[in-house]
Chain A
Amino acid sequence: MTVLAWRLGILVGFFAVWEAVAAPLNPLFYIRPSSLPGALLGMWRVPDLPPLGEHVWLTLQEIAGAYVLAVAAGLWLGFLLGLRRTVGRIYEPLLAALYAVPSVVWYPSLMLFFGLGSASKIAFGVLLGFFPIVLSVLAGIRQVPATLVTVAQSMGARPFTVFRKVMLPAMASTMVGGLRAGLALSVVGVLVGEILGSRAGIGYVINYAYGLMMTREYAVLALLAAAAVLALDTAGALVEARVKRWAG
């Protein structure tokens, strides 16, 4: 409880200091927090843009699509490489090398392939979210104690039972950590994709406001996006804690 009170206090203090510092300065560059709610209202309906709600909804859909695909591809490839040792030994170094490349360099080619619409944002979200997932599956499989697998086999467990009763619980916490990191990166991918070039979505509106020097509007949208990412990650952390308790 005291921790929560402290956090709240720090947040309030942060805005208070911000307000005090920004008040006497040029409002174009030094935005006062008290002006943000008004800016949000103004942004809600901009004459030459669809309503803000539609942008938010589009971005959420893109994030969901990107994350679902990243999870599916990451789990599939992770288990494929992790369970077939030879295949894994061939491809894993390639994967690690690719992961080391800053993913933004791929974005222009994704735009060329998938166009300016949602598809390229989803593709970029998949690309970013995919790596931590696949790597955590590979790490998780390596963590499964060989003795436990042997024990299960000696007691008559079939391969699928070994997978479900031994491997999954043994790798759960590592894998869930990867899934959580993947979610955060999928969100980043979609937002960055929208900001770099798009016709709709939160990222687009942020870019639009920024381009027209609507700095107050820009600031409130950026803060909103940050809050949304934080909320998603908190949800992820709760799920992670639950799974860790389950897997011990």
Chain B
Amino acid sequence: MTAPGAAIRIRNVSHHFGEEGDPQRVVALRDATLEVARGELLCLIGPSGCGKSTLLNIAGGLVAPSEGTVEIGETRVRGPLPREVAYVFQESALFPWSTVAENVKLGMLFQGVPEAEREARAESALEAVGLAEFAQHFPDQLSGGMRQRAALARALSLQTEILLMDEPFGALDEQTRLLMGEWLVGIRRRARKAVVFVTHSLQEAIALSDRIVVMTARPGRIKDVLDVTLPFPRDLNAPEVTELRAKLWEQVREESLKAMGTLP
């Protein structure tokens, strides 16, 4: 797994919150090594509190790891890389005082994209997520799913090679979540990006991923990496999917029980 075309290289990353000797010190990650290939969608899955989000934030440079290094392309990551990495967060990450279109354009504004191009890119990004008609609406006038699509449009408009998504559909209801997954698969067919996707839904991981990384209970380590080679769009009732889900569940279940402190 040392493809020369890796989009993100995470090497021996450990992370803790709080100082040594502090009784509230938490070791969130221990010695995680992982490469994300260009254009692949990689899901991080594992029990709550296993450091999935921390790993994602370290990969994008939002959090500096206590130990280890991250490289994006040829650059060692030391802070946010807005030209290479775009984010979609779980919820309420839109600016409530701006319209959908202004929200999408804001990221480009921060990066000094000229006005005319901002306009054009925002329009096509909103088109891609089916929100063209809602450009002048405010976030609180949209449903949860539409808000997440707007956040996705904002991330797409930045035209980065890498998209980091932290449980982006986690707060949505089941049907909307499935449909959002289909949207994402469709969008990726047009714009090939490396995506790291944190989720706690096995279903979602199987529907979207090229590879699934299972993490252990805290301190989070990488337990297993599963390749998912089924063609898109995926039939979630196919026998291979059922088999994969059972295998995945076995691993996640074991770690979740450890996280809860009971192993029957």
Interface residues of A (CB under 8 A from B): 145, 147-148, 150-157, 161, 165-166, 169-170, 246-248
CA distance A26 to B6 in the complex (A): 95
Whether the pair A154, B106 counts as a contact (CB closer than 8 A) is no
Q: Mark B150-191, 1 if CB is under 8 A from A, else 0.
A: 000010001000000000000000000000000000000000
Q: A155 touches which one: B91, B92, B138, B158 (CB < 8 A)?
A: B158
With A145-B92, A156-B82 known as contacts, the answer to whether A161 contacts B110 (CB < 8 A) is: yes
Measured between beta carbons, the chain B residues less than 8 angstroms from A145 are 92
SS of B interface (majority):
loop
With A147-B89, A248-B97 known as contacts, the answer to whether A152 contacts B110 (CB < 8 A) is: yes
CA distance A155 to B106 in the complex (A): 9
Whether the pair A154, B85 counts as a contact (CB closer than 8 A) is yes
A152, A154, A166 interface centre (most CB from chain B within 10 Å):
A154
Measured between beta carbons, the chain B residues less than 8 angstroms from A153 are 62, 80
Whether the pair B107, A148 counts as a contact (CB closer than 8 A) is no
- When C-beta atoms are compared, the residue in chain A nearest to B111 turns out to be A156
How far in angstroms is the closest Cβ of chain B from A83? 19
Measured between beta carbons, the chain A residues less than 8 angstroms from B96 are 248
Given pairs A147-B89, A147-B92, A148-B93, 18 additional interface contacts (CB within 8 A):
A145-B92, A147-B91, A148-B92, A150-B89, A153-B62, A153-B80, A154-B60, A154-B80, A155-B82, A155-B111, A156-B110, A156-B111, A157-B110, A161-B110, A165-B106, A166-B95, A169-B95, A170-B97
For residue B83, CB closer than 8 A to chain A, the reply is yes
- When C-beta atoms are compared, the residue in chain A nearest to B108 turns out to be A155
Give the size category of B's interface with A.
20 to 34
Measured between beta carbons, the chain A residues less than 8 angstroms from B92 are 145, 147-148
With A145-B92, A147-B89, A150-B89 known as contacts, the answer to whether A155 contacts B97 (CB < 8 A) is: no
For residue B197, CB closer than 8 A to chain A, the reply is no
- When C-beta atoms are compared, the residue in chain B nearest to A152 turns out to be B110
Whether the pair A156, B62 counts as a contact (CB closer than 8 A) is no
Whether the pair B87, A151 counts as a contact (CB closer than 8 A) is yes
How far in angstroms is the closest Cβ of chain A from B58? 13
CA distance A25 to B92 in the complex (A): 65
CA distance A99 to B198 in the complex (A): 47
CA distance A11 to B87 in the complex (A): 58
With A152-B110, A155-B111 known as contacts, the answer to whether A147 contacts B97 (CB < 8 A) is: no
B60, B92, B95, B111 interface centre (most CB from chain A within 10 Å):
B95
CA distance A246 to B154 in the complex (A): 22
- When C-beta atoms are compared, the residue in chain B nearest to A162 turns out to be B110
CA distance A169 to B97 in the complex (A): 7
6 CB-based A-B contacts, threshold 8 Å: A147-B89, A147-B93, A148-B93, A153-B80, A154-B87, A156-B110
- List 6 A-B pairs, minimum CB-CB distance, nearest first: A156-B82, A248-B97, A155-B107, A157-B110, A156-B110, A154-B87
Measured between beta carbons, the chain B residues less than 8 angstroms from A165 are 95, 106
Measured between beta carbons, the chain A residues less than 8 angstroms from B85 are 154
